[in-house]
């Protein structure tokens, strides 16, 4: 059964782009698409959403207020292949005004994009946002489903070169067949104004972190994010820096496991589970260092946001180099031990303290925050610039 929630506004004389996602919760891809959605308001482009969950979702009300229409189909579970296809055919036949389908849910894009095309959609886009897959049978199934995605779409897009290689293959990347569109953010929202700094100080007061070394992480509790390694790193940090605190922002299916690990390591009193936060820009200002040991990523918006906020980042070398738009990013191998990661993270803290004591001039070359707008725009990370680019791309397709 297709559920249809009418949005406000009109579709007349607009380019209707259907964004296919699993949900509209507070995740990386969803947040980036919603940032673009806000910029599309009152333009010639209309974003609508096809979701695969029961809802209602975090961004759903806002999306409707922005004039988007929200539709739903049943989640694909492999055994329901035929009913999933029927639901998609029914949906696209009932909505002929859709001009473009942009599929961020690439695990099943090779199914829904060809169906959309056969039902009259003018152009289809596969938009890859991850360079890896989940472990086990689920990951193997995902790889199998998207093995020929390059042949099932009109346009191949990806958030990074690593993500493009992982899904489309070296041949397409080398030939220039894939358009790389980095995950753009609302830069101005993360600029550390005095009000934002005060919000960070308030968070420190709330969690009793005043005067402490705050190691931060923003991301869902998922296999890709590698929280278990992060906790082992933090346990080593505590051996040298007794007043350290680990601030974790996010939710997810593995949160319970991470809590149990913290208890097992005897560090639960120093680990703060802040949960899902809409105003994440405030939390960056409460952190001293971002530690981001992901097993795989597409292009993590968290690291872009942290740089815009002026925060030093220790990042695993499995993360694309495309994200390092400033010298604030320090790449480290996951083959190194948690103790080695701890030493590196503490070195950043030492430089922070030395800067406050005005002992090291080189701080000014590395850590003093400089307005990031210019370099972020140059590298395609500003959402306003990207929204203008996308509007032109959509026009050129039709």
pLDDT of residue 354: 62
Report whether 344 contacts 320 (CB < 8 A). Answer: no
What is the greatest pairwise CA distance in the chain? Answer: 68
pTM over 0.75: yes
Strand partners, 308: none
Q: How confident is the model at residue 353 (pLDDT cuts 50, 70, 90)?
A: low
Q: Note the pLDDT of residue 368.
A: 46
* 330 neighbors 348 (Cβ within 8 angstroms): yes
Contacts of 26 (CB under 8 A, 6+ apart): 58, 59, 276, 278
| Nearest of 218, 367, 347, 185 to residue 293 by alpha carbon | 218
Give pLDDT, residue 209: 97
pLDDT at 67: 95
Radius of gyration, alpha carbons of the chain = 22
113 has a pLDDT exceeding 50: yes
Least confident range of 4-8, 41-45, 124-128, 213-217 = 4-8
Mean pLDDT score of the chain: 90
Tens of pLDDT, residues 282-315: 999 999 999 999 999 999 999 999 999 988 899 9
Instruction: Find the distance separating the first CA and the last CA of the chain, reported in whole Å.
Output: 31
Residue of 306, 305, 309, 333 lying closest to 319 (CA atoms)? 333
Burial code (b: 16+ CB inside 10 Å, e: under 16) for 166-178 equals bbbbeebbeeeeb
The domains found in the chain, sorted by start residue, are 3-184+382-397 (3.40.50.2000), 187-378 (3.40.50.2000)
> Would you place residue 355 in the very low, low, confident or very high pLDDT band (cuts 50, 70, 90)?
low
* Residue corresponding to tokens 């169906």: 115
How many contiguous H segments (helices) and E segments (strands) does the chain have? 17, 14
Tell me the DSSP string of 310-339.
T--EEEETTS-GGG--STTEEEE-TTS-HH
- The answer to whether residue 6 scores a pLDDT higher than 70 is no
Q: Nearest to residue 224, comparing CAs of 184, 253, 189, 200?
A: 253
- In terms of Cβ atoms closer than 10 Å to its own Cβ (0-12, 13-18, 19+), residue 110 is buried
Q: Are 187 and 382 in contact (CB under 8 A)?
A: yes
Q: How confident is the model at residue 244 (pLDDT cuts 50, 70, 90)?
A: very high
What is the strand order of the sheet 70-72 is part of? Answer: 3-5, 70-72, 45-51, 15-20, 100-103, 123-128, 155-158, 178-180
Backbone angles phi, psi at 32, to 5 degrees: -65, -40
Written as six digits, the tokens of 133 are 């897959």
pLDDT band for 372, please (50, 70, 90 cuts): low
- Asked if 387 contacts 36 with a C-beta cutoff of 8 angstroms, the reply is yes
What value does the mean pLDDT take over residues 96-117? 96
Instruction: Determine what percent of the chain is predicted with pLDDT higher than 90.
Output: 78
Q: What does the pLDDT read at residue 362?
A: 37
Cα(394)–Cα(336) distance, rounded to whole angstroms? 44
């Amino acid at each position: 059964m297709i559920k249809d929630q009418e949005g406000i506004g009109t579709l007349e004389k607009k380019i209707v782009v259907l964004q296919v996602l699993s949900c509209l919760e507070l995740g990386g891809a969803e947040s980036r698409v919603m940032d673009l959605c806000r910029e599309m308001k009152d333009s010639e482009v209309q974003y609508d959403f096809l979701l695969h969950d029961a809802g209602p979702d975090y961004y759903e009300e806002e999306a409707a207020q922005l004039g988007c229409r929200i539709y739903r189909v049943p989640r694909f579970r492999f055994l329901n292949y035929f009913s999933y296809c029927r639901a998609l055919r029914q949906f696209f036949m009932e909505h002929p005004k859709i001009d473009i389908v942009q599929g961020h849910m690439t695990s099943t894009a090779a199914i829904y994009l060809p169906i959309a095309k056969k039902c009259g959609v003018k152009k289809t886009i596969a938009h890859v946002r991850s360079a890896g897959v989940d472990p086990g049978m689920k990951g193997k199934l995902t790889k199998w489903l998207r093995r020929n995605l390059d042949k099932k779409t009109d346009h191949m897009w990806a958030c990074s070169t690593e993500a493009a290689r992982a899904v489309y293959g070296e041949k397409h990347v080398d030939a220039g067949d894939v358009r790389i569109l980095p995950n753009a953010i609302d830069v101005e929202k993360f600029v550390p104004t005095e009000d934002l700094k005060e919000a960070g100080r308030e968070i420190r007061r709330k969690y009793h972190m005043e005067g402490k070394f705050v190691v931060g992480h923003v991301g869902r509790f998922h296999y890709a994010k590698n929280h278990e390694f992060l906790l082992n790193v933090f346990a080593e940090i505590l051996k040298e820096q007794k007043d350290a605190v680990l601030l974790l922002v996010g939710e997810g299916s593995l949160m319970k496991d991470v809590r149990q690990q913290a208890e097992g390591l005897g560090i639960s009193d120093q680990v703060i589970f802040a949960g899902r936060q809409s105003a994440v820009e405030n939390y960056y200002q409460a952190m001293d260092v971002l530690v981001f040991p992901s097993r795989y990523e597409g292009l993590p918006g968290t690291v872009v946001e942290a740089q815009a906020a002026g925060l030093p980042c220790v990042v695993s070398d499995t993360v694309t180099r495309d994200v390092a738009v400033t010298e604030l990013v320090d790449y480290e191998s996951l083959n190194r031990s948690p103790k080695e990661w701890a030493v590196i993270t503490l070195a950043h803290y030492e430089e922070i303290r030395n800067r406050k004591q005005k002992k090291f001039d080189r701080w000014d070359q590395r850590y003093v925050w400089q307005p990031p707008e210019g370099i972020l725009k140059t590298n395609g990370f500003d959402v306003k610039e990207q929204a203008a680019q996308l509007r032109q791309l959509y026009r050129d397709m039709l």
